[in-house]
């Protein structure tokens, strides 16, 4: 191992200073000593792994701090070495990098998924502070994937799936193309070994069969470019196995139908030459319509730039061609690592760094909005989709968003406040629904309203992690506030029943109660009461026991007044659809808050055995909110009867939310079901009186359940 390390240090000395090599030698000996007696599954000394990781990073010419951290990246996790020790020996920046890559192995988690999610969150937060953390982690994962054969099959598949879902997309998002492709191919090899074997064999056979065609096309391209005066390097390019497999799976192709297994990459001197080369190619072979993409004018989110075109080659074979400059090629292969690999003032590099920084910041915002690490990981997976659409803001700014993006996703991409307050959208000057999917080149203008707020139904169609996390955060916050308001009313009622009042409780009582109960604040206690997680009567008694003794008399508690505007903290049962005027009862349902039922609702029979969950509630006489109610009509099966019924309902000042009619069966009568919005029972009675006057209406009733 010493000889292998010495050979690598000699190789690295080509771009590192002697003092840097000296530090790396110290780090290697430190790591070797820390991992002494530890071996990999393959039987090699464990230190061979950090050495291989450092070598991968050295190929990107990463700085000595990152290489030192790579050599030490497992010492905190697998040995007794502490962060303080690393900091003392190799400096604080190296210690921070090692800490960022290390797992949270000392914390107990309920499930493996939760542990993994929390590890990803920790790593990505460290990456947001220093992108070298993820570069070390990707190199670590790449070497582990290359040596995965020594691991037992079940664990091998789990690691490969995780790589496919998280690490390969992150490498793609950071523009690390070569690592991205290798990680995908290695994952395919371990998740579906038989498919990988068959596909690799088919590609090898196709390579031999098509060698002559590929050679002929390459000669034609070189000749054409030379005649057009374009100085260029032309390389044959083979699609990596996973991209062929993905195409076969998504488009239900056989291998024989995937004709663009081979392609060509043309590297020219400058941007102008890219377009000249493209013109020459299109005059050599006819381009396939709709297959041209200009990533030079509009780069991908990860900084990737090139012209893509697909041509009809000889014998009708499609030929995929990428045209790019040498600088674009460097960024395409090394992505964000090109910042270290090619020290230059190239504007495309600084633009790439800016885009990477923006993405990392969006991750930080997303994690602050997410309730837990599993939710954050879910948002992250959504955010790592590789396919993109490019749309324009009203001022002509280009925005790259994941494929399937809707107008709501666009609104949140512009700004969280725009997303929270959006009410409508104009796409290419036409008003469209907010769930409309955006297409390349769309011009999108969001219309907002000051008092608008996110709709929970948006979660059914938004695709970006940012939109999903912002909507959930807003709804959680709103739910928390509304639950706290309800909890305050319920607690006040219980305190009144015990001869006290919420206004009379002292700060010291609250402070002690919050401290004893393990809650973070008084608001959390009140929200828990509103959500049914704590009983108001129990909290009231505990609060009073922490204060001075109160009077002995216990007056009858007052009813909780229901206004209908309490929001998510108070829900109206779907089973009985209570409306003002109905005798009602409140049931505390854990996690949901208070659910209002009618007195005669059969669903509340179980709750009657648990009197602590039942609350006395009454309608506010000033309630103005419309309530939903269902009615059933039996009508004569005649033309125009639905129009008459709808007109009568509108005349009575009600809005129809939903209507359903039984299918035609040749009978003289049919059933109609309406969901209406009414103010109260008097309003419903007025509607029903009007409907009974219609001659075709035979029977009419209110539906519950």
The residues that are catalytic are 77-78
Single out the residue of 378, 428, 377 nearest to residue 407, CA to CA: 428
Q: Per residue, what are the HEC states of 546-557?
A: CCCCCCCCCCCC
Residues with Cβ within 8 Å of residue 397, at least 6 apart in sequence: none
CB of 442 within 8 A of CB of 391? yes
Beta-bridged to residue 594, according to DSSP, are 570, 588
Strand (E) or helix (H) holding 629:
strand 627-636
- Torsion angle, alpha carbons of 422, 424, 429, 433, to 10: 130
Single out the residue of 471, 347, 409 nearest to residue 400, CA to CA: 409
Q: How many whole angstroms separate alpha carbon 619 and alpha carbon 561?
A: 6
Q: How many CB atoms lie within 10 A of CB 194?
A: 7
Beta-bridged to residue 674, according to DSSP, are 631, 659
Q: How many whole angstroms separate alpha carbon 266 and alpha carbon 688?
A: 76
* Residue whose entry in the numeric block shows the structure tokens 């506030």: 481
Look at strands 570-572 and 593-598 and give their pairing.
Answer: parallel
Q: Backbone phi, then psi, for 25, in 5-degree steps?
A: -65, -40
Rg for the chain, CA atoms, rounded = 33
Reduced to 3 states (helix: H, G, I; strand: E, B; else coil), residue 393 is coil
Instruction: Report helix, strand and coil shares of the chain as percent, to nearest 5.
Output: 55, 15, 30
Q: How many whole angstroms separate alpha carbon 142 and alpha carbon 119?
A: 18
Single out the residue of 485, 497, 607 nearest to residue 541, CA to CA: 497
Beta-bridged to residue 444, according to DSSP, are 427
Cα distances (angstroms) measured from residue 138 to each of 70, 142, 180: 11, 6, 9
Token duo for residue 31: 């790591």
* Residue whose entry in the numeric block shows the structure tokens 């299918």: 663
Token duo for residue 255: 């291998």
Residues with Cβ within 8 Å of residue 687, at least 6 apart in sequence: 631, 648, 649, 652, 654, 676, 678
Cα distances (angstroms) measured from residue 362 to each of 34, 60, 128, 398: 37, 26, 9, 18
């Amino acid at each position: 191992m010493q000889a292998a390390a010495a050979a690598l240090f000699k190789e690295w000395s080509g771009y590192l200073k002697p003092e840097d090599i000296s530090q790396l030698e110290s780090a290697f000996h430190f790591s070797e000593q820390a991992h002494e007696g530890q071996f990999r599954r393959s039987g090699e000394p464990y230190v061979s792994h950090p050495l291989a990781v450092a070598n991968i990073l050295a190929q990107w010419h990463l700085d000595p701090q990152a290489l030192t951290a790579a050599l030490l990246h497992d010492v905190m996790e697998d040995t007794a070495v502490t962060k303080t020790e690393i900091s003392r020996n190799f400096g604080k920046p190296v210690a921070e990098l090692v800490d960022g890559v290390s797992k949270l192995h000392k914390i107990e988690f309920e499930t493996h998924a939760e542990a993994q999610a929390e590890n990803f969150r920790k790593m990505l937060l460290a990456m947001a502070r220093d992108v070298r953390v993820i570069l070390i982690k990707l190199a670590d994962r790449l070497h582990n994937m290359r040596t995965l054969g020594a691991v037992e099959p079940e664990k091998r598949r789990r690691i490969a799936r995780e790589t496919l879902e998280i690490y390969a997309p992150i490498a793609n998002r950071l523009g690390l193309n070569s690592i991205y492709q290798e990680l995908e191919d290695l994952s395919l090899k371990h998740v579906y070994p038989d498919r990988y074997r068959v596909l690799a064999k088919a590609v090898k056979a196709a390579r031999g069969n098509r060698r002559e065609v590929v050679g002929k096309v390459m000669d034609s391209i070189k000749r054409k470019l030379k005649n057009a005066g374009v100085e260029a390097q032309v390389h044959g390019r083979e699609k990596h196995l996973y991209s062929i497999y993905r195409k076969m799976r998504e488009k239900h192709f056989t291998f024989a139908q995937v004709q663009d297994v081979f392609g060509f990459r043309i590297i020219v001197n400058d941007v102008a030459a890219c377009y000249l080369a493209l013109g020459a190619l299109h005059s050599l072979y006819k381009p396939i319509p709709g297959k041209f993409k200009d990533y030079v004018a509009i780069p991908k989110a990860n900084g990737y730039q090139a012209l893509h075109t697909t041509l009809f080659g000889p014998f009708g074979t499609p030929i995929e061609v990428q045209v790019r400059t040498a600088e674009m090629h460097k960024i395409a292969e090394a992505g964000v690592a090109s910042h270290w690999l090619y020290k230059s003032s190239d504007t495309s590099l600084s633009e790439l760094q800016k885009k990477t920084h923006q993405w990392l910041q969006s991750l930080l915002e997303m994690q602050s909005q997410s309730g837990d690490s599993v939710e954050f990981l879910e948002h992250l997976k959504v955010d790592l989709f590789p396919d993109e659409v490019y749309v324009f803001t009203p001022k002509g700014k280009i925005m790259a968003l994941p494929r399937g993006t809707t107008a709501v996703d666009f609104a949140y991409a512009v700004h969280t406040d725009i997303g929270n307050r959006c009410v409508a959208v104009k796409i290419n000057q036409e008003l469209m629904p907010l769930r409309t999917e955006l297409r390349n080149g769309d011009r999108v203008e969001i219309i907002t309203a000051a008092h608008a707020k996110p709709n929970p139904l948006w979660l059914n169609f938004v695709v970006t992690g940012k939109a999903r996390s912002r909507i959930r955060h807003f709804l959680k916050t709103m739910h928390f506030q509304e639950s706290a308001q309800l909890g305050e009313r319920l607690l006040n009622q219980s305190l009144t029943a015990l001869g006290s009042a919420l206004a009379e409780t002292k700060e010291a009582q609250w402070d002690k109660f919050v401290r004893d109960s393990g809650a973070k604040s008084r608001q959390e206690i009140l929200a828990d009461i509103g959500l049914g997680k704590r009983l108001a009567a129990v909290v009231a008694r505990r609060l009073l026991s922490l204060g001075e003794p109160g009077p002995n008399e216990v007056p009858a508690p007052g009813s909780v007044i229901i206004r209908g505007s309490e929001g998510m903290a108070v829900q109206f049962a779907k089973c009985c659809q209570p409306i003002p005027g109905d005798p009602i009862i409140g049931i505390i349902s854990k996690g949901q808050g208070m659910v209002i039922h009618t007195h005669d609702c059969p669903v509340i029979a179980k709750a009657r055995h648990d009197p602590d969950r039942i609350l006395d509630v009454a309608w506010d006489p000033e309630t103005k909110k419309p309530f939903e109610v269902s009615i059933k009509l039996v009508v004569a099966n005649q033309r125009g009867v639905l129009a008459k019924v709808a007109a009568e309902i509108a005349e009575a000042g009600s809005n129809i939310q939903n209507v359903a009619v039984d299918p035609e069966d040749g009978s003289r009568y049919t059933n109609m079901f309406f969901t209406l919005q009414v103010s109260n029972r008097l309003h419903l009675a007025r509607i029903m009186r009007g409907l009974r006057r219609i001659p075709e209406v035979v029977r009419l009733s209110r539906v519950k359940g």
